[in-house]
Chain A
Amino acid sequence: MLNVQQLTGGYSGEKVVNDISFSVNKGELFGILGPNGSGKTTLLKMLTGILPFAGGKAYIKGKPIEEYKLKELAKVAAILPQHSSQTFSFTVKETVSLGRYAHQKGLFQTWTEEDESVVMEVMKQTEVDPFAHHDLNELSGGERQRVYLAQALAQKPEILFLDEPTNHLDLSFQKSLLDTLKRWTKEQGLTVVSIFHDLNLAGLYCDRLLLLENGKIQKEGLPDEVLEEDRIRSVYRTKIMKQPHPSVPAPQLVLLPEGETEGDLSINESMLSFSLEHIVLKAPFPLKTMSSGVVGSGTGWHKNFVNRHVDRRYDCSDHRNEMREYLRSYNFEPVETVGMMTAVILEDVCHHFYEGSNFSVLVVVTAGVGNSVDASKSDAHSSGMKPGTINTWVFVNGVLTEEAYIQAIVTASEAKAKAMSDMEVKDLITGTIATGTSTDSILIAATQRGSGLDYAGTITSLGKIIGKGVHECTCRAIQKSRERAGS
């Protein structure tokens, strides 16, 4: 559809784009990326015949662009610019109708039935038909952008060029515009070449991407290939991180703000507070957490950590909401808080601070073994949520990788199972040694400042301390709980 070969050019002699070659197939959504001044818009202006070439060739449907007459080109290629200015208050329909200019013939440019039906069709597609007779300046920015899109579509183009189409649009229209374009590429074989400012949108919607740097091609290929962490970091000279999209196989890049990782605060026992109602750790800044609490579970950033005592007969029907209400009543913002529940008497808590070589770990465990279960024989138990009885908190003063979080959970679980075994806690139904209780919760929280800890397997320096700490604290907590039951 579009074939560009060694294209070079720019404004009055100065070469803004240099030796650009790529091709776009019919029905593709092709994204052009690059930092400011990398030549994106210049490239688009050259491809749409606004700027002359200093060298190279560009073909649309196999024919060089400069050999197209303006009207012919307008029938094949349409452009939705970044900003459109309008001076006079044309109505929406008048504006869209202008898109038919190239299709009208003769000195008097008669308006045919085909023109009319195309205009009605594109106004429906872009959902601007309800305000067909409104003035353009009565519309919102997003609606106006849709009108200009309709105008471009009224040209019945085979290839559509867009310059940052989502600029100045709110989130919902960004999505609906790109969803629509994507659908048209698939259903009608429309080819779309678009400049994107937002790398994540580009990664989400484009079939292929072209990354420009200083007027040259840095990389062309699939979104996942182009949007590599190191490449984007160097091209945009900024700190970013790449993450997978949570529900779609597309790369997402997130910015890393500067100045946040200053300071040498570490989490220690002085931040803990105890009462009969709850055990609380208030961190001075948010920690990155991976947890299975009632509130704030999964991964996230949290400042407050609450282990709440509930009665054995606690009604668990809507425990999440009830827990949120509880947290609010104690002035903990639920979105900043990881909250857990336990029926254990909180005086039986056991905590200890461990120093590693260049990091430190705080372990806090509350344990009761009332409904212990042997995980290998759990079929014998009935299902149902009961308040957790072994709640393990591990705070790490260091920078953990994603894998370190998972390894830390595994290590902590193993240490807990070992503690159960050493304390000879039995599954009351099967009579075998238990591995935990039916509703245990775990929290791994790290400050993400200080030294990097890539792994937390059992024989790594971090894993060793987590294993030892969790084992010790769990044993002591079980012992305390037993002593209370005995006394």
Chain B
Amino acid sequence: MQKSYTRTFLNNPATAYIIALVFLVAAMLAAISVGTVSVPVRDIIAIIGNEVFHLPFAREIEPMHTNIVMNIRLPRVILAGLVGASLAIAGAAFQGLLRNPLADPYTLGVSSGASVGAVITLFFGFTIPGAGQFTLPIMSIVFAFLTITAVLFFVRKIDPVMKVETIILTGIIFSSFLGALISLMIALTGDELRQIIGWLLGSVSMRGWDYIKILLPFFLVGSLLLLFNGKELNAMSFGEERARHIGVNVQKRKMVILAAGSILTGGAVAVSGTIGFVGLVIPHLTRLVWGPDHTHLLPLSILTGSGFLILADLVARTVISPTEIPIGVITSIAGAPVFAAILMKKQRERRGMTNA
């Protein structure tokens, strides 16, 4: 009964938020501090205090440290955090909505859509007039939207009640189709191959503050929409009919949640490429420790998801420094075994339940 114990001990929401917040802050400080040039934690606090909050910290700081923190590491950490948070909360929402702990943003094809948008941009090497270097993220988000619209349109054509099974199936069909398109473009591409592969594996390096500005509005809109639907997600994880009986406007809420999830996933994929397993593993672990109540699961997933991706990025750039490993590789190496363990545990539980 180890689990019951941990749940009662940690179940107090205040405790949960404090632990998650401490984890996030610790991850951020660690990631800003560690690197080829090591910056002491006290200096980091002083730099951020001075530069961001304009507090009068009377402390001698090397200008190089300020430069490293403000222009390289802090934006990188914030971007990693935002991407992790977006993927985690979107994953939590999709899992609740689809009543499938194995579902993730990718199941709906949103992420494949975003990838296609990005790969098309890289393949043709074109620029939207006026958008400049932001052509790639804009295209990703647009394609994510197009994909989810197409998926939902097809689902509604196939099954007017929009059963979750139909949505997943349609999502998988779209994913396969779009994945084939990406493979086709990679096969046809010449010199751009490395760039596309690198982008596909995912990275948050050298993106800078501009990418944060691109992602932030999408992150805020998507997260707020989901946070206001925590109760509805709770109801819908008991099945759509049940939710309807309780009084949830399932059709409307489902659309809002799917849209919010696509905004978050689309935005994240646009700035960092395909980073797997964050949207799967983080909600799952969070749920395991603090329970499945979405009113807490969603905000906690934001905190733990961002902390997780910041740490993953730290590992990615330090393990075989100076060479960087794509962050998607790290999340997959860390995430896949955890995911397999969860799956096995679930199977054992299910068998134990039928025996009982």
Q: Contact residues of A with B, CB < 8 Å?
A: 12, 48-50, 70-71, 73-75, 78-79, 81, 84-91, 94-95, 98-99, 101-102, 104, 107, 109, 133, 135, 137, 140, 151-152, 155
Asked if A87 and B246 make an inter-chain contact with CB atoms under 8 angstroms apart, the answer reads no
Interface pairs (15), CB distance under 8 Å: A71-B247, A78-B245, A81-B242, A81-B245, A85-B99, A87-B99, A88-B101, A88-B237, A90-B234, A94-B291, A95-B238, A102-B246, A109-B231, A140-B356, A155-B247
Check if B235 is an interface residue, CB within 8 A of chain A. Answer: yes
Asked if B246 and A99 make an inter-chain contact with CB atoms under 8 angstroms apart, the answer reads yes
Contacts of A107 in B (CB 8 A): 228
Asked if B247 and A73 make an inter-chain contact with CB atoms under 8 angstroms apart, the answer reads yes
Check if B208 is an interface residue, CB within 8 A of chain A. Answer: no
Question: CA of A133 to CA of B293 in the docked complex: distance in angstroms?
Answer: 13
Which one of A12, A49, A74, A101 lies within 8 Å of B231 (CB-CB)?
A: A101
Contacts of A104 in B (CB 8 A): 231
Please, which residue of chain A has its CB at the minimum distance from the CB of B230? A109
Contacts of B249 in A (CB 8 A): 70-71
Question: When each residue 231-266 of chain B gets 1 if its CB lies under 8 Å from chain A and 0 otherwise, what string results?
Answer: 100110111011011111100000000000000000
Contacts of A48 in B (CB 8 A): 245
Q: Contact residues of B with A, CB < 8 Å?
A: 4, 8, 96, 99-101, 160, 228, 231, 234-235, 237-239, 241-242, 244-249, 287, 291-293, 349, 353, 356
Question: CA of A2 to CA of B279 in the docked complex: distance in angstroms?
Answer: 46
> Separation in Å of the B294 CB from the closest CB of chain A?
9
> Separation in Å of the A60 CB from the closest CB of chain B?
14
Question: CA of A140 to CA of B355 in the docked complex: distance in angstroms?
Answer: 11
Question: CA of A380 to CA of B231 in the docked complex: distance in angstroms?
Answer: 82
| Residue among B8, B101, B292, B293 with max Cβ neighbours from chain A (10 Å) | B292
Asked if B101 and A87 make an inter-chain contact with CB atoms under 8 angstroms apart, the answer reads yes
Contacts of B96 in A (CB 8 A): 88
Contacts of A98 in B (CB 8 A): 231, 234-235, 238, 246
Please name 5 further chain A to chain B contacts, defined as beta carbons within 8 Å, in addition to the given A71-B249, A88-B96, A88-B237, sorted by A numbering: A48-B245, A74-B246, A74-B247, A98-B234, A102-B246
Sorted nearest first, the 5 A-B pairs with minimum C-beta distance are: A74-B247, A102-B247, A88-B292, A71-B247, A87-B99
> Separation in Å of the A114 CB from the closest CB of chain B?
16
Once A98-B246, A107-B228 are accepted as A-B contacts, the answer to whether A87 and B237 lie under 8 Å apart by CB is yes
> Separation in Å of the B279 CB from the closest CB of chain A?
16
Asked if B245 and A74 make an inter-chain contact with CB atoms under 8 angstroms apart, the answer reads yes
Asked if B235 and A91 make an inter-chain contact with CB atoms under 8 angstroms apart, the answer reads no
Asked if B245 and A84 make an inter-chain contact with CB atoms under 8 angstroms apart, the answer reads no
> Separation in Å of the B242 CB from the closest CB of chain A?
6
Question: CA of A48 to CA of B244 in the docked complex: distance in angstroms?
Answer: 9
Contacts of A70 in B (CB 8 A): 244, 247-249
